[in-house]
Amino acid sequence: MAQWYSSVKPTPMLKAELDIVIPTIRNLDFLEMWRPFFEKYHLIIVQDGDPSKDIKIPEGFDYELYNRDDINRILGPKASCISFKDSACRCFGYMVSKKKYIYTIDDDCFVAKDPSGKEINALEQHIKNLLSPSIPHFFNTLYDPFRDGADFVRGYPFSMREGATTAVSHGLWLNIPDYDAPTQLVKPLERNSRKFDLSLRYVDAVMTIPKGTLFPMCGMNLAFDRELIGPAMYFGLMGDGQPIGRYDDMWAGWCVKVICDHMGWGVKTGLPYIWHSKASNPFMNLKKEYNGIFWQEEAIPFFQSVTLPKECTSVQQCYLELANLVKEKLGKLDPYFIKLATGMVTWIEAWEELNSTEGTEAKAKAPKGKND
């Protein structure tokens, strides 16, 4: 891959406090274009599919590479909660990380440019989003009042201007939109790109998703505070052997948003953009999404109606309570949700074990990258 990236390298923010998690089934040549932005950070690569396949990573990156054999070895029977042959496997990377923050990106996401032609440092913008407060309890019509050049508008309560802690930064995409299969089929040529006047498609804004409002979270350009909300970032049971796919990130988003609302934390969406380089096959996507398209019409009202008890004071407690409710309420919709609820409980058990002292020692024996 041509090294067309800029020779001007930014100063890395939170270098010692952030891991980049990448799920993949292929060689990671795309990292070359991200080199000026990623090379000072530690990468956690989760290889999906055939564990005997050799994944090539460009020289100079500090990384750990985990495949299915590693997942089974480290988690034992609890490896059943990690999806196979689906990008949902990325959440294993969240579990083994020891950093405060996580940025996750797909391997078909390239460096985007803003309307002026300047390359966008997506990671830097995510960090800025996470390090500044959110405003989930009262909407500001100038969007994020903590950005340079913005502020609270007239009528915004002074008592609420300190904002809330930001748990999640949800980025967007140029070129290929993140559409479901039916929309892909109806709009096969639609692009969010310069060809159609990027200045009309690029929205220079970050906003907090209001409390009580769900959103369709996309995992291809996402950052979050692992210490804060990490135990809830479970991407569910998807892919091989499951009756549903392509709902992994959305499931996590619904759970995360309900818990953030309960805990008083904020979720931001908007900048930064990445360049989504290729569209997946809409017919294959429809096969994966088919059940989800129907089930989401029941699942979303379920999440909208959930009220977590005040006794739930930690993310783990909230998540286990959600798992019980999923089993009780959505289990009537399809037996899959009973299996998913069990996976949610297993996920928390595995998270607790792997992040204990013993778990830290186990991770110390994990395979390391060749370039670290």
- Per-residue model confidence as pLDDT tens digits over 243-289: 999 999 999 999 999 999 999 999 999 999 999 998 889 999 999 99
Respond yes or no on whether the N-terminal peptide bond of residue 145 is cis (omega within 30° of 0).
no
Are 224 and 73 in contact, with CB atoms under 8 Å apart? no
Are 69 and 92 in contact, with CB atoms under 8 Å apart? no
**pLDDT band at residue 4 under the 50/70/90 scheme:** very low
Are 132 and 101 in contact, with CB atoms under 8 Å apart? no
- Per-residue model confidence as pLDDT tens digits over 69-125: 999 999 999 999 999 999 999 999 999 999 999 999 999 999 999 999 999 999 999
pLDDT at 190: 82
Cβ atoms within 10 Å of 329's Cβ, excluding its own:
18
Are 274 and 221 in contact, with CB atoms under 8 Å apart? yes
The gap from C-alpha 115 to its chain's centroid, in whole angstroms, comes to: 25
Cα 302 from Cα 290, distance rounded (Å): 19
pLDDT above 70 (res 366): no
Instruction: For residue 54, give the 3-state DSSP assignment.
Output: coil
Among 122, 110, 90, smallest CA distance to 31 is for 110
pLDDT above 90 (res 188): no
CA angle 190, 194, 198 (to 5 degrees): 95
CA angle 37, 44, 178 (to 5 degrees): 70
Cα 189 from Cα 100, distance rounded (Å): 40
Are 233 and 260 in contact, with CB atoms under 8 Å apart? no
Residue found under tokens 């970050």: 206
Count each helix (H run) and each strand (E run) in the chain, helices first.
Answer: 12, 9
Q: How would you classify the pairing of strands 18-24 and 42-47?
A: parallel
pLDDT above 60 (res 344): yes
Residues 6+ apart with CB under 8 A from 112: 119, 120, 122, 173, 174, 175, 272, 273, 274, 275
Run of H or E including 234: none
Among 72, 81, 65, smallest CA distance to 23 is for 65
DSSP states along 11-30: PPSSTTTEEEEEEESS--TT
pLDDT above 70 (res 359): no
Partners of residue 222 on adjacent β-strands = 104, 170
Provide the Cα torsion 197, 198, 199, 204; round to 10°: 160
Share of the chain above pLDDT 90, in %: 86
Partners of residue 239 on adjacent β-strands = 84
pLDDT at 9: 62
Cα 137 from Cα 22, distance rounded (Å): 33
pLDDT at 1: 38
Are 256 and 229 in contact, with CB atoms under 8 Å apart? yes
Cα 276 from Cα 148, distance rounded (Å): 27
In this structure, of 23-27, 65-69, 73-77, 187-191, the range with the lowest mean pLDDT score is 187-191
Are 47 and 85 in contact, with CB atoms under 8 Å apart? no
